[in-house]
Amino acid sequence: MKSAFTLLLLLVAACCFAQLPKPDDISTSKGPLRIQPLNHATLALTWNGKTIYADPYQGPKTFEGIAKPDLILITDIHPDHFDTKTMDGLDLTHVVIVAPQAVADKMSDALKAKTTVVANGQTIEKMGISITGVPMYNLPESADAKHTKGRGNGYVLKMGGKTVYLSGDTAGIPEMRSLKGIDVAFVCMNLPYTMDVKEAASAVLDFKPKIVYPYHYRGTDGLSDTAEFKKLVNAGSKSVDVRLRDWYTIK
């Protein structure tokens, strides 16, 4: 009876683990960059012995089976990006947090002590990783937009000769369209918060990353049509590797 119960627990655990999309490995000059899609705008990157979390969300359970973070990137103040309950539940003993000023202003003193503030256009280096804050905002610009220019950060990361772009919550802004040399991009698409599939595809076709993952694609009307995004991008450029993953398996 005990062995049957143990088997049941293992099957349940395996089922839960199977919910996560399979990670991808990208070759760099310092070993593989492992990409693990997780949930909405949340992902984990592992490189050169370091683990990076982006926008931790929906509780510590999101990161089960993943090493504790060395570096956390936060893009914006909204709770699907700066989730204080999730942050409080993580092991942050040796972590470095990178965030825009607007996020730091909402942090506890304990989190602030671990945080380096980065503004749009500013570049810092942490753990051998170059980190540049890039604009993310809605178009047309307005004072009451959900995302105003200068408040949040997208990020461009350079590590081991590869360049990774995290869009954060943004429209297809000129600063995105003019990016160069992006190896891996994570691009949002969810109305009314960011942009629709057509605008996202148009922006991607302007900066042509080698690999692009549509992420952050749940809006008020459900999930965006990422298959249509892939179709539009590849109709314009067969060279862009559009990787569709299920970012909404973790409940």
| Residue 157 in tokens | 């990361």
For residues 150 and 173, give the distance between their C-alpha atoms in angstroms, rounded to a whole number. Answer: 13
Q: Is 116's pLDDT higher than 50?
A: yes
DSSP 115: E
Whether the per-residue pLDDT at 20 is higher than 80: the answer is yes
Which CATH number is associated with domain 23-242? 3.60.15.10
Domain boundaries, the chain: 23-242
- pLDDT of 6 > 90? The answer is no
Q: Give the angle subtended at the CA of 106 by the CAs of 94 and 143, to the nearest 5°.
A: 135
d(CA 156, CA 123): 9
Mean pLDDT, residues 5-13 taken together: 47
User: Does residue 32 carry a pLDDT above 90?
Assistant: yes
Give the model confidence (pLDDT) of 197-209 as tens digits.
Answer: 999 999 999 999 9
In this prediction, residue 62 carries a pLDDT of 95
User: What region, left, alpha or beta, does residue 33 occupy, with left being phi > 0 and alpha being psi -120 to 50 degrees?
Assistant: beta
Residues 153/134, Cβ–Cβ less than 8 Å: yes
Residue 9 clears pLDDT 50, i.e. is over it: no
250: confidence class by pLDDT, cuts 50, 70, 90: confident
The values of phi and psi at residue 53, to 5°, are: -105, 140
Is the confidence at residue 2, as pLDDT, over 60?
no
Please give the structure tokens belonging to residue 202.
């148009």
Residue 165 CA from chain centroid, whole number: 9
AA identity, residue 34: R
Of the chain, the percentage scoring pLDDT greater than 70 comes to 92
Read off the tokens for 90.
Answer: 């993580």
User: Which two tokens mark 52?
Assistant: 């990076």
Contact 170, 153 (CB under 8 A): no
Element holding 5 (H helix, E strand):
helix 2-18
Statement: residue 151 has pLDDT above 70: yes
For residues 2 and 108, the model is more confident at 108
What's the rounded mean pLDDT across residues 63-79?
Answer: 97
pLDDT of residue 249: 87
pTM over 0.95: no
Closest CA to 200 of 210, 182, 218, 214: 214
Q: For position 15, what pLDDT does the model report?
A: 46
Interhelix angle 226-236/197-207, rounded to 10 degrees, is 40
Closest-CA residue to 66 (of 26, 30, 38): 38
DSSP string, 58-105: S-GGGGTTSPPPSEEE---SSTTTS-HHHHHHS--TT-EEEE-HHHHT
List, for residues 177-190, the tens digit of each pLDDT value.
999 999 999 999 99
| pLDDT above 90: percentage of residues in the chain | 90
